[in-house]
Structure 1
């Protein structure tokens, strides 16, 4: 006897080829019915033999399309409906959205092959996509994910594309981003004065490859925003890009023409290979040992023994790469500190003094995104996310949230992101940048407004950082007042701790939280950053912290490591200080130090002080530069020979003492590498000592300091078997996770 069942699927199931997959699967099991997208995911009605329906459901949920992620599914028997066939129906949105949004996917192997196939009608068409790949969030205007809800809707499908779209046997069956050279997106190459470059007897990508080889900088509009590109083997042009982008030392990412080329020049681990070829295709930071290529390393990654590498992840980059026999710098299309640019007019206006040529296209990018960045630790292969953006945003899969409130969390200022909980899902924006930059602040507010518009919901609760002068704090206050929402301030480091507790669902355990970063407004109005918290029974309390030292000259302190050293230096180090400051500076700053009321426990600033003391750097030209250069100097370490600088102290965690002992080691001829290893060993040992003294079996880590892969490896190597360590995996340990942490704090913490 024939039966009818209703099946609902939710999760990352729109824009991933789910409906065509269901269509073909239903025909395989001889079932009639319908499938459609709605505001909650995918809804399926099937009629047929019960045994066939159960087999269909099992295969559907166990072997879904490759880029989908099923979060919930249900099957319910309903009254019989006599369907005559199986159909894909247009989306039918009856209520507000309650589904995962779809991130961008790297180009799949099938589409790559078509680009190179002269007999294929998409030969050399840079916007080739299918149900398994291509831009999604970048072009989304609203949901459910249908063509008319994206910016690609401006390009009406030609007859050939429509045929593919309607053909169940074609992999572009119901592909919402389907276009071709006849009906699709077009490219043009212009110079910095907007004169179009005529392409004669060659492809546009041949021309760009020649321009790059000749030493030009080309701004390339990719599928998620502009990239500034130049020949990574040409030191003159790399330095020119540095100067004109106002980026003196921060390393550039390098795009290699192919995996084969990359493997020839660098040794990659299996984890690094997997990341580089994944659907997210992030920039992956890899070690430079035994590098024999021609990249001008000192210009691309100054003073570093690591390199951020990536492979072509879009049709545009793939076609350009096919014409290159050298790697290229591929860095965000912006002036350093500003958000990535995606509009042609703005790119010319802001980058004409940087780029010689511009590759433009006429597809509107609704949500511009930087490339995501990941690093794998050397010893224990711990994966650490440095930037969560293209390929990962805007979803976060966390089934433990359950609240009837609509909650908006506005994060922090330095590495801002927003988190929104308007339904049964949590949405985390891409990395947005430092809100002190006017353009980044505008991107932050427009992203917030876009989230509110997409979900057609106003938040009942607005969560902000406790720092009274943060731009996110001020914006949150204005927004909450405007829409009559409840405003709640959450301390920065407690948000960090809540983020790692939430990511690993640790709210039912007793946990030691270790939060090390550069800065954060504390409950006592001092600058925190070297914190130990205890969590138990939905309460967080400050257990311990690094001893306070003077916070000097506001934000200037984070930009000049020498100021951190001055704050921590004893009189015996005056000779060192005299080499770093003028006599007038020393007199003024010493006076400030004696009369200063603002104190800090920051481990980030302690890293700065160590870097200055070791003459690694006295100035940070980018965030965390001193710490990165320090980590970079350790090629290897042996824990058996490492020294704990705080071994003789009982309960005090003294930054002053650490600096004093490092100074003594320098006087005794200990190498920089060993001093740094001892310093990191001291941090790791102190953490584990506090855990064992207070009988903790679970330690959770957050804050930018835990992007240091050597510190992470040391902790893993030192930890006793009875203690379990928790590091961020889905989120960056830096301030990008603050918005998520604010959300977790509000939902789970009582105090």
Structure 2
């Protein structure tokens, strides 16, 4: 008996080879029908034996294509449909887009083999892709994900590519990014005067490797934006890149030619190995303990015992890696603080004084993205996402949302992102950066407008941070007026808290929120950053904090750790302060302190003060430098030797007491490593003890301080069995999660 069914899938199901997979599976089960993309995902109509259709559906749902992620699925019997065969038919768009957007994927093993095989017609072709890999979000203009809706449409397929595209047994069957050297994207090498270097394509990457070996800096246009590259074993050239990029100390990422090469120099654990080889292919921050290579470490990662490493993830980088016998710096193509550059014109104009040569191509990048960054903690291998961008954005598939409203969340100011809920899916943009930078702000506003256009939906609700001076807040207010949307301001740290609650779907639980970061505008108009919140029955209450201390000189305080020490120091520390400030500075700052009314509870500034009193640094050249150097100063810890530097009260704890007791240990000659370990132990025990005192068994932790993986490990080690810790899973603990948190707050708090 023949029956007909309509089968639907939503989720990450476009641009992942889902339709060709369905086609071949349907033939195996002797089914007839059609499969197409639509605005909701993938739609199948099929007729056949009901048992076969049931087995077909089961196989599809249990073993989908490798890079797909099914969110919802359905199978409904329909009136009898008559089909001659099974076909992939052109996509239809009958309504507004309502499916996840597909992120970019690292080059797969099969395509890597193709470009390395002299017998293959794609040998040395840098833009080789298939249904399982290649750019997606980077080249997306609109959806459904069809070639005609991407920038790769400018390259019509040649006869051979069309034959592959139409062949069900080919890996490139219905691969929307299919091209080859005959019909595809072209590379060219130019110098920084814009003059083309004439060279055979077959020798192009040999030439680039030689230029890198000779000490040149090269701007390489990848499929998601420019990278600035140089020989990572050459201290002079790495320092030259630092100087030209205006990036004095912030570490550079290093691209290793292969995993085999990398493992000769660096010890990796299983989670790092899996991450480095994943489809997302993020930078991994790894320990340099027992490092055996020749990297110019002091220039690549100044004063650090950790390193950001990556492996080739596009055909361009793989073909270059095949010609290299040394690792290279591969850092974002920009001047420090600006957004990653993606156009040939901008690269030549803005990086002319930085790079000696540029490797360019003629594929338009619609959505430039930085590389994502992760770190795994040493003891418990807890994953901490430092930057969520390439390979992850703009999807967020795990959100549990049921709302008819169109909601746009503008996020924070540093490490900005936007979150948009225009349909039944949530979209979180790639990391955009610090909105103090004019070019970053422009990309932030362009991304917002692009989201609105892409989904053909105007927001009805716009959510902003409570800080009146945040550029994201000001733009959100302007947009709310323009679109006649309802505007809601949400306190920064409450957004952090609800971001973790949202990731773990804890809105039916009683949870303690611990939010430790650098800065956020508080409900009392002070600067918060060391907060204890209770959550229960859709209500958040601030039930504790780090005892307030003076907030001095606005943003300058976050750039000069010595100012945090000045704010927290007692009279007995006068001699230390005299080493860090001139007598005029002490006099002027002392007067400001006496007149100051603005207070803070910031744990980020407490980290700065600890770094200053230990003479680790008095000035930050990049955000969080003092905190990174602080963690970097300890290699291991033993909880049995630790002590706490302050007493916990029913309201929280005192940063001044911590600094006072650290000062005593400094005077007594206690080692720097032990003092830092004691400091982190103090924070960890206060968090756990506060939860016991207040009767919580679930603790959600967020804020940039929880990028400190030693603190994360200590918490996991110290937590008794009855206490459950919740860290961020798929989002960063830093301000990147604010947009998601704002949205979760709006949907779940005080409703």
- What is the rounded CA distance, in whole Å, between the counterparts of 1:148 and 1:598 in structure 2? 56
Q: Corresponding residue for 1:552?
A: 552
Q: Corresponding residue for 1:276?
A: 276
Normalising by structure 1, we get a TM-score of: 0.99
Residue 477 of structure 1 aligns to a residue whose secondary structure is helix
| Aligned 1:45-444 pairs, distance under 5 A | 45-199=45-199, 203-444=203-444
- What is the rounded CA distance, in whole Å, between the counterparts of 1:129 and 1:252 in structure 2? 28
- What is the rounded CA distance, in whole Å, between the counterparts of 1:431 and 1:206 in structure 2? 33
- What is the rounded CA distance, in whole Å, between the counterparts of 1:159 and 1:334 in structure 2? 39
Residue 312 of structure 2 aligns to a residue whose secondary structure is coil
- What is the rounded CA distance, in whole Å, between the counterparts of 2:623 and 2:201 in structure 1? 46
> CA offset at residue 312 of structure 1?
0.2
- Are the structure 2 counterparts of residues 646 and 583 from structure 1 closer, same or farther at C-alpha, using a change threshold of 3 Å? same
- Are the structure 2 counterparts of residues 44 and 277 from structure 1 closer, same or farther at C-alpha, using a change threshold of 3 Å? same
> CA offset at residue 8 of structure 1?
0.3
Q: Corresponding residue for 2:660?
A: 660
| Aligned 1:535-550 pairs, distance under 5 A | 535-550=535-550
Q: Does 2:581 align with 1:581? A: yes
Q: Does 2:615 align with 1:620? A: no
- What is the rounded CA distance, in whole Å, between the counterparts of 1:460 and 1:23 in structure 2? 40
> CA offset at residue 398 of structure 1?
2.5
- Are the structure 2 counterparts of residues 249 and 399 from structure 1 closer, same or farther at C-alpha, using a change threshold of 3 Å? closer
- What's the CA shift string for 1:208-230, capped at 9, x where partnerless? 00000000000000010000000
> CA offset at residue 54 of structure 1?
0.2
> CA offset at residue 198 of structure 1?
1.2
Residue 532 of structure 2 aligns to a residue whose secondary structure is strand
Q: Corresponding residue for 1:569?
A: 569
Q: Corresponding residue for 2:466?
A: 466
- What is the rounded CA distance, in whole Å, between the counterparts of 2:635 and 2:462 in structure 1? 45
- What is the rounded CA distance, in whole Å, between the counterparts of 2:84 and 2:742 in structure 1? 51
- What is the rounded CA distance, in whole Å, between the counterparts of 1:397 and 1:182 in structure 2? 38
Tell me how large the CA RMSD over aligned residues is.
0.8
Residue 430 of structure 1 aligns to a residue whose secondary structure is coil
Q: Corresponding residue for 1:632?
A: 632
CA contact (8 A) 2:650 2:690 kept: no
- Are the structure 2 counterparts of residues 46 and 647 from structure 1 closer, same or farther at C-alpha, using a change threshold of 3 Å? same
Residue 254 of structure 2 aligns to a residue whose secondary structure is strand
- What's the CA shift string for 1:642-698, capped at 9, x where partnerless? 011113756451100000000000000101100000000000011111100011010
- What is the rounded CA distance, in whole Å, between the counterparts of 2:511 and 2:594 in structure 1? 38
Q: Corresponding residue for 2:7?
A: 7
- What is the rounded CA distance, in whole Å, between the counterparts of 1:624 and 1:672 in structure 2? 19
CA contact (8 A) 2:499 2:742 kept: yes
- What is the rounded CA distance, in whole Å, between the counterparts of 2:554 and 2:715 in structure 1? 32
- What's the CA shift string for 1:315-363, capped at 9, x where partnerless? 0000000000000000000000000000000000000010000000000
Residue 656 of structure 1 aligns to a residue whose secondary structure is helix
- What is the rounded CA distance, in whole Å, between the counterparts of 1:645 and 1:236 in structure 2? 43
| Aligned 1:34-45 pairs, distance under 5 A | 34-45=34-45
- In structure 1, list runs of 5 or more residues that go unmatched: none
Q: Corresponding residue for 1:598?
A: 598
> CA offset at residue 433 of structure 1?
0.1
- What's the CA shift string for 1:508-547, capped at 9, x where partnerless? 0000000000000000000000000000000000010001
- Are the structure 2 counterparts of residues 435 and 648 from structure 1 closer, same or farther at C-alpha, using a change threshold of 3 Å? closer
Residue 250 of structure 1 aligns to a residue whose secondary structure is coil
- What is the rounded CA distance, in whole Å, between the counterparts of 1:256 and 1:474 in structure 2? 42
| Aligned 1:469-484 pairs, distance under 5 A | 469-484=469-484
- What's the CA shift string for 1:138-192, capped at 9, x where partnerless? 0000000000000000000000000000000000000000000000000000011
- What is the rounded CA distance, in whole Å, between the counterparts of 2:351 and 2:407 in structure 1? 38
- What is the rounded CA distance, in whole Å, between the counterparts of 1:99 and 1:650 in structure 2? 47
- What is the rounded CA distance, in whole Å, between the counterparts of 2:471 and 2:82 in structure 1? 59
Residue 487 of structure 2 aligns to a residue whose secondary structure is strand
- Total equivalences in the alignment: 751
> CA offset at residue 200 of structure 1?
5.2
Q: Does 2:451 align with 1:451? A: yes
- What is the rounded CA distance, in whole Å, between the counterparts of 1:641 and 1:283 in structure 2? 34
> CA offset at residue 239 of structure 1?
0.2
- What's the CA shift string for 1:42-86, capped at 9, x where partnerless? 000010000000000000110000000001000000011110100
Q: Does 2:733 align with 1:728? A: no
Residue 705 of structure 1 aligns to a residue whose secondary structure is helix
CA contact (8 A) 2:652 2:690 kept: no
Residue 126 of structure 2 aligns to a residue whose secondary structure is coil
Q: Corresponding residue for 1:695?
A: 695
CA contact (8 A) 2:545 2:651 kept: no
- What's the CA shift string for 1:551-590, capped at 9, x where partnerless? 1011000000000000000111110001111111110001
Residue 203 of structure 1 aligns to a residue whose secondary structure is helix
CA contact (8 A) 2:647 2:653 kept: no
- What is the rounded CA distance, in whole Å, between the counterparts of 1:637 and 1:110 in structure 2? 44
CA contact (8 A) 2:104 2:134 kept: yes
- What is the rounded CA distance, in whole Å, between the counterparts of 1:624 and 1:272 in structure 2? 23
Residue 557 of structure 1 aligns to a residue whose secondary structure is helix
- In structure 2, list runs of 5 or more residues that go unmatched: none
Residue 513 of structure 2 aligns to a residue whose secondary structure is strand
- What's the CA shift string for 1:224-281, capped at 9, x where partnerless? 0000000000000000000000000000000000010001111100100000000000
> CA offset at residue 720 of structure 1?
1.0
- What is the rounded CA distance, in whole Å, between the counterparts of 1:356 and 1:6 in structure 2? 57
